[in-house]
Amino acid sequence: MDIKVQFGQRLRELRKKAGFSQEKFSFECNLDRTYIAGIETGKRNLSLENIEKIAKALKISISELFQDL
């Protein structure tokens, strides 16, 4: 499976576990909701800066974000 798809599935799982809608989560990350949707569907290739924003919004480490990929 493509790494972008795997990462997107992992992000969706963590976002839902944290109780965020895509809209609320995008606000917490300071990223556009359609960008988050694109990540979760494996259509976006993230920058390191955005990976850091996502991890901070989820209150987890970057390594936890990539765990089990």
Contacts of 43 (CB under 8 A, 6+ apart): 4
pTM of the model: 0.91
Rounded distance between C-alpha atoms, residue 3 and residue 21, angstroms: 23
Kindly report, residue by residue over 5-54, the tens digit of the pLDDT. Answer: 999 999 999 999 999 999 999 999 999 999 999 999 999 999 999 999 99
How confident is the model at residue 68, as a pLDDT?
85
How confident is the model at residue 69, as a pLDDT?
84
